[in-house]
Structure 1
Amino acid sequence: MDIESKKEKFVISRDFENGSEDSASFAPPKYISWIYKLDNFGIETRGIERVSTEERRSLAANKSSLNRFLHVFGLWIAACGGLTTMSSFFLPTLLFGLSMKDSLICGLISMNLGCLVPAYCSTMGPKSGCRQMVGARFLFGQWGVKFVSLICIVGGIGWSVVNCVLGGQILIAINNNIPLSVGIVIIGVISLVIAIFGIRVLLNFQTILSIPLIIASILFYVVVLKKVDYVHESNVLVAEQGFSGLTVRGNWLSFFAIGYSVTATWGSGASDYYILFPEETPSYQIFIVTFLGIAVPSTFVAIIGTICGSIAYAYQPWNDAYNNFGIGGLINECFKPWGRFGSFIVVLLYISLICNNIMNTYSVAFEFQLIDRKLAYIPRWCWAIVMTIIYVVLSVAGKEHFSTILSNFLPMLGYWISMYITILLEENIFFRSSIKTKTLHHNEFDEKANSDWSYNWSNWNKPKGITMGLAADLSFAIGVVGAVLGMNQVYFQGPIAKKIGDYSGDVGMWLCGGFTGVVYPFLRYWELKRFGR
């Protein structure tokens, strides 16, 4: 794409600032104009711009509906059916001292509950043609969405650190001569290359790899279940800890927050992968394929991860491998009896980390463009490079603290996504119905808009055509109070969390969502009455 054809993008950026579509075109600053010449290499040039209804219909004419759904289903399988998801489910026994029964009940309920969040968020993609956080402008307003975008950036970088550190552990467990930092860099570089070339390459890459990754997970079942007799011994050791019932419930709640966060945090970018779907695509189809695409592979790997962690609690060779080399060392130890073939399977599981990391690198690049109008001048692929540099450096710095990163970082993401989905649900249910639209008609709302929730998506870049965001921003701030009261982290334990057992229990996700949900309808009603949008 040449400089001239890029002007449309900059008009969009200027229009969002002014709330008008009549602004004159202007070229990018001369000192960065050379960047756009690199777009000719076939990388995806679209940033936060909305994909129009006409463009989506044109693209849909070249691909069948079944083909589109198969690609996106393969994408979710590759991203969720590997070690990134599995890694959290090694921890309920090893870190929280839960029995096998408690671990499975807690993990599977929390994880599948979390799947509902991205499944619902994804339905906005075909209707809007907008990236997930671009659509969040209709909730948080022009300025509030900047803060939300920063949270998404932190979340995406955090997940990438998890992937990179685990990948480094795996390679060093296979070969002690390979520095951990090499495994980290390999994941970062491959993720970056695929993410740069955009959504079409990403979909094809993920779909192709989904099949060998499924096979690798099945073989992991085979090798782990050979030691399944140690689960009983593990349960005995857990019982001997002598935890009170309240302490067990506290640990249960703390792991519940982790399991929920593993899948729920996909909600921050779920609709990014459906913006090329035609607007007429039924929402229930999008919801089902997303829920199953995340829930099925996540459940599959979560079960074996939980079993493996429980066995490692009692089986000394696996326990030593975990203590010396982390989860990566534990996985490698499981496959040692299979020799070189076992090492090959471990490498396949290593590749699953890349599949997950690609999606982080791809989606988070858009959040940088939402922070400020001037940052939208910089192409998406440039921000992907910036993000990769950041998380590779952080991964090298935190490579010795994998379990700490997981147990303290994931619940924090669960807090914010709980507040976001609460606001989104209440906005759609209480304020975007056809009746409300007719009663509270304004340029943000459109009675004739072809949308389930009566959004006028053409206003995505017009601050005067969307909400001011006061209700969502204030509700979010109040929700933070709930998170602080209920959080159970190394650096802070809320007063309510402290009352749940000897080690406290994390109820921050419940309290922040509850606080937000109670106040948002009242604040939003006031905002509509006071400002009309």
Structure 2
Amino acid sequence: MPNAKPTKNSSFIRTWITRLTARDGEVYELRPEDNPRWYQKLLDAGVEENGIKPVPLEYRTNTHYSNLFTVFFTCLLNLLPIPTGLLATLSFGMSLRDASLVILFFAMLTCIPPAFMGIAGAKTGLRQLVQARYSFGKYLVTIPLLLNAATVTGFCLLSAIVGGQTLAALNPENVSVTVGIVVTCLVSFAVSLLGFRAVHMYERWSWIPNLISLVIAVGCGGHHLRNQVDAPPATAPQVLSYGCLIAGYFITFGGTSSDYSIYHDPRKVTKTKMFLLIYSGLLLPSVPLLILGAAIGGALPNTPSWSAAYALTGIGGVMRAMLSPAGGFGDFVLVLLALSVIGNIAMSTYSVSLNLQMLLPAFTRVPRPVFILATLAVMVPVAVQAAREWEESLINFLGLIGYWAGCFCAVVVVETVAFRRMDYATYEHAIWNVGRELPPGVAALGACLCSMALVVPGMAAPWYTGPIARRTGDVGFEMAFAVTAVCYLGLRWVEVRVRGRL
């Protein structure tokens, strides 16, 4: 039987698979002549084609550097920081003054690593976890890869729960939190499907209605915030334990920050400017909202309407109680507040899809939207379950992620500063997926494991408190970052001497 003539569709499928398969050292390049017309129209409209392949300098042409600020500013200018701040006064028993000081100090400190790491996206053209291969190696990087994917998905869960609670607060008798979670997720995933340009475009403007809605809510119900419960001065264990939660909230952006700068032109901007844009994008929206959450937590026991609403639909119920003087307009504002989490979920799922593409070589052939849909399928039922034990879920999540993120950031920062001397050209594109040329990763993983000897005794979680933490409070994050950095300096030096190269 003669060979069948290849059809246009089969030819495109073969071309698609070939282009998705990353050969050794292959980088991203534009090939519009190979694309069907309909596919090229999607790319021209802003749909991102590239996944995890390095972006060469000639394709790093974005000069809208303010995007580096707005993408993080909008991601965090929503309801999510409010329940995190609420824990300080409601769960940890701190006064509003002490909580505010802890929030400000730990936020200013722990925004530094992710802001510094975000510079590398523009300078190297590498996604954050691809850059991590130059420390952890091609294969051992799977461990931080899985942890980062779980962490970012966890933030999606928290955002979806907050959005779902807020939508449910509109009509608690007929709309459950579960329905609210599903609606919030579906709207959010539509943005993340399109990719880098769509995420940046959405984040560039959507902070405006978010900010207006939050100001209206505080203006309507803020007079109750002065009804703070009396609290004794904060103890060292309270300060360190809650500080660990704040660290977990911020430092985990170190696993994704360069994902949003890889198309920016590094030749027309200084490293200092990029750092300040990312740093302020993380810090400026979060600190006021975390403190607002602490103020709400302190006033909650003394405001019966807020307490009843919080028991029914969480922070969404409190926001509706605050907006109740505005009547029907308040309900409209509440919907805007519920949708404010879209920017956070869209940004997070974008990074998750990139992480999943790195897990196995075959996954490079899978289009990024497939992983976004898979994340949605997993996220919704988990979010529904986590919403049933909201406060405990939040404390457990923020506490635990700070430990591994401290280790990861320490390794990547020390690698860049101490061993590569801030020379981003040493992150050679030619070896980004060549296991034999990349470091084996033994030093990076070994340093992380060494730190666990002090992290575990120093951690304080609802389900476990180590012997050090019983006396000092949670110092797991501090141990993770400091011990990993020191151990990596020594172990990586030995690794470089043995290999004879970076």
TM over 0.5: yes
Query: For residue 238 of structure 2, what is the amino acid of its counterpart?
Result: N
Matched, 1:225 2:222: yes
- d(CA) in 2 for partners of 1:201 and 1:21? 25
Instruction: Answer yes or no: is 1:115 the counterpart of 2:83.
Output: no
Q: How does 1:80-95 map to 2 (within 5 A)?
A: 80-95=76-91
Shift of 1:259: 1.4
Alignment of 1:62-73 (within 5 A): 65=63, 68-73=64-69
Equivalences for 1:15-414 in 2 at 5 Å?
Answer: 15=24, 41-42=42-43, 43-56=47-60, 59-60=61-62, 65=63, 68-176=64-172, 177-231=174-228, 234=229, 236=230, 238-239=231-232, 248-280=235-267, 281-414=269-402
Deviation at 1:459? 2.2
Structure 1 unmatched ranges of 5 or more: 23-36, 240-244, 435-450
The Cα of 1:10 is off from its aligned counterpart by 4.4
Structure 2 distance, partners of 1:270, 1:286, is 11
Correspondence 1:497 to 2:447: no
State the secondary structure of the residue aligned to 1:142. Answer: coil
Amino acid at match of 2:355: E
Distance 2:17 2:55 in 1: 16
| Unaligned ranges ≥5, structure 2 | 1-10, 28-37
Give the letter aligned to residue 312 of structure 1.
Answer: L
Q: Which residue of 1 aligns with 2:482?
A: 514
Deviation of 1:462 (Å): 2.0
Which residue, out of 7, 10, 13, partners 1:3? 13
Answer yes or no: is 1:455 the counterpart of 2:452: no
User: Is this contact kept in 2: 1:157–1:390, CA < 8 A?
Assistant: no
How many percent of aligned residue pairs carry the same amino acid? 28
User: TM-score, normalization: structure 1?
Assistant: 0.85
Deviation of 1:38 after TM superposition, in Å, equals: 8.0
Look up the equivalent residue of 2:444 and give its one-letter code.
A
Counterpart AA for 1:110: F
Give the aligned partner of residue 444 of structure 1. none
Query: The residue matched to 1:227 in structure 2 has which SS?
Result: helix
Would the aligned equivalents of 1:78 and 1:356 in 2 still touch at CA under 8 Å? yes
Rounded to whole Å, the distance in 2 between the matches of 1:292 and 1:323 is 34
Question: Are the aligned partners of 1:418 and 1:512 in contact in 2 as well (CA < 8 Å)?
Answer: yes
The whole-number CA distance in structure 2 between the counterparts of 1:44 and 1:509 is 36
Give the distance between the partners of 1:325 and 1:21, measured in 2 at CA. 50
- 1:274-310 deviations in whole A, cap 9, x for unaligned? 1111132321111010011111111222222222221
Q: 1:455-488, CA deviations, whole angstroms, 9 ceiling, x for partnerless residues?
A: 3233212223321111101111112333211111
Quickly say closer, same or farther: Cα 1:324–1:178, change in 2 above 3 A. Answer: closer
Q: Which amino acid aligns with 1:478?
A: C
Following the alignment from structure 2 to structure 1, what is the Cα–Cα distance between the partners of residues 40 and 411?
37
Q: Distance in 2 between matches of 1:339 and 1:483?
A: 50
* Partners of 2:324 and 2:12 in 1: CA distance: 53
Per-residue CA distance 1:192-246 (angstroms, 9 max, x = gap)? 1111111111111121211111112222332343123312xx1x2x24xxxxx7x
Moved over 4 A (4+): 37-42
CA distance in 1, matches of 2:26, 2:416: 27
- Count the aligned residue pairs: 476
SS in 2 for 1:96: coil
Q: CA RMSD in A?
A: 2.2
| Aligned equivalents of 1:285, 1:312: Cα separation in 2 | 41
Q: Does the residue aligned with 2:182 lie in a helix, a strand or coil?
A: helix
Q: Secondary structure at the match of 2:482?
A: helix
State how far apart, in whole Å, the 1-side matches of 2:26 and 2:306 are: 62
Change (3 A) 1:70 1:335: same
Counterpart amino acid of residue 204 in structure 2: T
Farther off after superposition, 334-343 or 453-462: 453-462
Q: Deviations over 1:80-104 (max 9, x none)?
A: 1111122201111111110111110
- Indicate if the aligned counterparts of 1:335 and 1:342 stay in contact, CA closer than 8 A: yes
